[in-house]
Amino acid sequence: MPTEVRPASPDQAELLRRLLAAGLLIESGVPGVYGHGEPFERVRDGLDRLLTREARSRGAIKLRFPPVLPKRHLESTGYLGNFPHLAGSIFSFDGSESEAAEQAERAADHADWSEFQSQTEVTLMPAACYPVYPAVAQRGRLPEGGLFVDAGAAWVFRHEPSMDPARRQIFHQHELVRIGEPDVVLEWRTEWAQRGVELLRGFGLDANLDKANDPFFGRRGRLLAANQRAADLKLELLVPIAGPEPTACASFNHHMDHFGSTFGIELADGSVAHTACLGFGHERIVLALLATHGLDPDAWPQEIRSRLLEDE
Amino acid sequence: MPTEVRPASPDQAELLRRLLAAGLLIESGVPGVYGHGEPFERVRDGLDRLLTREARSRGAIKLRFPPVLPKRHLESTGYLGNFPHLAGSIFSFDGSESEAAEQAERAADHADWSEFQSQTEVTLMPAACYPVYPAVAQRGRLPEGGLFVDAGAAWVFRHEPSMDPARRQIFHQHELVRIGEPDVVLEWRTEWAQRGVELLRGFGLDANLDKANDPFFGRRGRLLAANQRAADLKLELLVPIAGPEPTACASFNHHMDHFGSTFGIELADGSVAHTACLGFGHERIVLALLATHGLDPDAWPQEIRSRLLEDE
């Protein structure tokens, strides 16, 4: 039974139509899965360079990770308890020649071949910061003051098919992660939330910071969401894209000692590290720019062009 | 039953040990799935820029695609008949609250939770050129002379766990694709195979072109491989990485009308387009450079540095 596809609002449907017609997005046949045309990538590249430079100038080290995560890490984080509806797991074939032939025959008919697939040791990446924690834990005790990691614009997967062009199943999440003493981490999040507002307003976007919660699953999830809000653990940067309802284009998350204790990340004095992360959604920011300034980046205001496209 | 992990040769095991110790690669716990440290990415970025520039200066248009492919496209290409052992499919959860709770409990115990997962409409990307064909078919008839597409360094998945650091389950394949008249396409492949040799030799690598075949599955696969060789459809650029046995770092593939007829790509005169593609394996080329010139790019010969790292 295929998962229900969320419909688009009339504004969202119109934006998607224009993006496809202009060749900025390329339809794949699956809602929320698109290719990118040249002008779209030109803006996204500019954003990527700018965020990378901002992070580097403030002491970030660069680590990069693929779009798959060891299943064991996903299991350890509790992601499947909180977001079972969003996770993607990877299956593959490990059967005989006759099973392979039967599978290929069904696939050629676009019939069901799932029974020949079995679960592998990897899943899709649910959030770009996840592989950072075990990687940092491997390095041993943190230096005094902790660590600032730029995990770059990694591909992350969320199984939520939608006709809203801003709601992708697979997209670039540019994550910066701070790992260290509790006060250092909290201050870093506050500072970067403010920097995020200034950055997006500097692009001419109507960006506003607000308290938020993650889309936790089910009845238990409502309680988790309320707790997250009460403890002020998640902020989002909201920007209008299509229609009046704004879309979250970045989030700033405080994890307390959740990842530190899960993966055994130790501060210089041996106590458990706190962590925070922030994620900029590349595709959503590019969409907000295109919706605000028009579909042709060459016709954007000079100030925005020089900020984003200057060093091409 | 987990798929068997191919062991490393002593030379490969030693190279992997050195790469991990130097922080160039980051262990994930799954064979063939690694993070990249800063110096590794620095070289890979340089290679990416150089290949992008080479393609652009020869008229390529840039299209970019995510690491997932519509299942329907994978089915249409016949990939599951030829390479069932390498394909990765994506499953997700679509059940009740009580099933979600049971799944989470099993996951927390690192037990089997596969029965709660069902197949989605997407698979992992098997080769970076696959999404190009339906995208080009959508544009309608090709212009005279066809089209040259730079699909960039996309993430592709091959389910073949191995302890050889050059054999990844997930890696960047930089694909260039030529779609057009039969003679134009064949000439393009010949020209780029020669350019590939010169490019890698220019990096100080001992690169040699050879006839090759794809790793087709099973008994039927042996026949397909023999036919592919006889028809001269695949060339590989071989470079020593760890030990005397060279590794394929790039391939140059002639598809005749396979993708053109599968996806309905029409030439200007309405006949079926031919296609060819070439893929440079980013990670393998970076490994070859590190193995040849040493693990510290700053200590490489000036000529190689200026070629690869000049415009940082």
Residue of chain B whose alpha carbon sits nearest to that of A130: B28
- Please list, in sequence order, all residues whose beta carbon lies within 8 angstroms of the beta carbon of residue B152, skipping any fewer than 6 positions away: B48, B52, B62, B63, B64, B128, B174, B175
> Which residues of chain B lie closer than 8 angstroms to A67, CB-CB?
67, 155, 170
pLDDT at B1 over 90: no
B62: nearest CB among A38, A62, A97: A38
Q: Name which of A37, A85, A114 is nearest B93 (Cβ-Cβ).
A: A85
In angstroms, what separates the C-alpha of A299 from chain B's closest C-alpha?
Answer: 20
Contact A92 B94 (CB under 8 A): no
The neighbour count for residue B293, using CB atoms within 10 Å, is 18
Residue A51 CA from chain centroid, whole number: 14
Q: Tell me if B74 and A155 make a contact (CB, 8 A cut-off).
A: no
Task: Say whether pLDDT at A40 is over 90.
Answer: yes
Distance CA A174, CA A283 (A): 10
State which residue of chain B sits closest to A120, comparing Cα positions: B2
Q: Which residues of chain B have a CB within 8 Å of the CB of A3? A: 92, 94, 120
DSSP assigned state of B273: P
Q: Does the structure show a pLDDT above 80 at B311?
A: no
Collect all residues of chain B within an 8 Å Cβ-Cβ radius of residue A108: 75, 78, 81
The nearest alpha carbon in chain B to A79 belongs to B104
Residues A85-92, mean pLDDT to the nearest whole number: 98
- For the segment A248-259, the average pLDDT, to the nearest whole number, is 97
Summarize pLDDT for B28-43 with one digit per residue, the tens.
Answer: 999 999 999 999 999 9
CB contact under 8 A, B170 and A66: yes
Q: Could you tell me which chain B residue has the CA closest to the CA of A99?
A: B84
Mutate: best of A1, A28, A75, A96, partner B, most B CBs <10 A: A28
Minimal C-alpha gap between B299 and chain A (Å): 20
Residue A8 one-letter amino acid: A
Residue B180 has a CB neighbour count (10 Å cut-off) of 25
Confidence bin at B3 (pLDDT 50/70/90): confident
| B200/chain A closest Cα distance in angstroms | 24
- What's the CA gap between B68 and B92, in Å, rounded? 14
CA-nearest of A273, A290, A293, A271 to A282 is: A290
In this prediction, residue B299 has a pLDDT band, given cuts at 50, 70 and 90, of very high
The answer to whether B68 contacts A170, with C-beta atoms less than 8 Å apart, is yes
CA distances from B92 to A2, A84, A85, B125 (A): 10, 8, 7, 17
Contact A72, A79 (CB under 8 A): no
- Say what the pLDDT of residue B2 is: 61
Query: What is the number of residues in chain B?
Result: 312
Record the pTM. 0.97
**Which residue bears the tokens 């996204």?**
A44
Q: Find the residue in B nearest to A87 (Cα).
A: B92
Task: Please name the member of A72, A95, A116 whose beta carbon is closest to the beta carbon of B29.
Answer: A72
Backbone phi, psi, residue B62, to 5°: -100, 125
For residue B168, give the nearest of B278, B284, B268, B266 by alpha carbon.
Answer: B284
Closest partner CB to B64 (pick from A35, A86, A87) = A35
Is residue A305 within 8 A of residue A287, CB to CB? The reply is no
- Cβ-nearest to B27 among A1, A69, A138: A138
Is B49 exposed, middle or buried, given 0-12, 13-18 or 19+ CB atoms closer than 10 A?
Answer: middle
| Parallel/antiparallel/unpaired status of strands A34-36 and A25-27 | antiparallel
d(CA B31, CA A306): 44
C-alpha Rg value of chain A to the nearest Å? 21
Q: What is the DSSP string of B104-173?
A: HHHHHTT---GGGEEEEEEEE-SSTTTTHHHHHHHT-SPPTT-EEEEEEEEEEE----BSSTT--SEEEE
Mean of all residue pLDDT scores within chain B: 96
Tell me the pLDDT band of A312, cut-offs 50, 70 and 90.
low
Interatomic CA distance for residues B23 and A28, integer angstroms: 37
- Read off the DSSP letter of residue B78: T
Distance from CA of B184 to the nearest CA of A (A): 24
Q: Which residue's structure tokens are 């490969």?
A: B12
Best CA proximity match to A22, nearest among A296, A282, A243: A296
d(CA B300, CA A103): 49
Q: Averaged over B160-181, what is the pLDDT?
A: 98
Size of interface A-B (CB pairs under 8 A): 231
Q: Which of A130, A74, A157 is nearest to B106 (CA)?
A: A74
Give the gap in angstroms from C-alpha A262 to the nearest C-alpha of chain B: 12
Burial group, residue A82, by CB count within 10 angstroms (0-12, 13-18, 19+): buried
Q: What is the pLDDT of residue A206?
A: 97
Burial class (CB in 10 A: 0-12, 13-18, 19+), A68: buried
Nearest to A92 by CA among B255, B160, B311, B305: B160
Q: Are B68 and A123 in contact (CB under 8 A)?
A: no
Of residues B64, B80, B113, nearest to A107 (C-beta)? B80
Q: Which residues of A touch B70 (CB under 8 A)?
A: 28-30, 33
Q: Which two tokens stand for residue A106?
A: 């069904």
- Which one-letter amino acid corresponds to residue A116? F
> Tell me, what's the pLDDT at A302?
95
Residue of B nearest to A169 (CA): B68
pLDDT at A3: 76
What is the three-class DSSP state of A90?
Answer: strand
Confidence grade of residue A153 (pLDDT, cut at 50, 70, 90)? very high
Distance in Å, alpha carbon of B267 to nearest chain A alpha carbon:
20
Nearest to B117 among A3, A89, A121 (CB): A89
Using a CB-CB cut-off of 8 Å, the residues of chain A touching B101 are 81
Q: Is B93 helix (H, G, I), strand (E, B) or coil?
A: strand
* Interchain CB distance below 8 Å, A121 and B61: no
Nearest-neighbour CA in chain B from A115: distance (Å): 9
Residue B310's pLDDT is 74
For residue B185, give how far its alpha carbon lies from the nearest alpha carbon of chain A (Å). Answer: 23
Q: Between chains, do B97 and A219 touch, taking CB under 8 Å as contact?
A: yes
- Facing B38 at nearest CB: one of A38, A62, A73: A62
pLDDT for A80 equals 97
From the CA of B95, how many Å to the nearest CA of chain A? 8
pLDDT digits (tens, 9 = 90+) for A157-208: 999 999 999 999 999 999 999 999 999 999 999 999 999 999 999 999 999 9
Split at pLDDT 50, 70, 90, the class of A2 is low
Residue B312 has pLDDT above 70, yes or no: no
pLDDT digits (tens, 9 = 90+) for B107-147: 999 999 999 999 999 999 999 999 999 999 999 999 999 99
Residue of A49, A37, A36 lying closest to A310 (CA atoms):
A49
Chain A residue with the nearest C-alpha to that of B104: A81
Contact B169 A3 (CB under 8 A): no
Segment A51-83, tens digit of pLDDT: 999 999 999 999 999 999 999 999 999 999 999
A-chain CB neighbours of B220 within 8 Å are 97
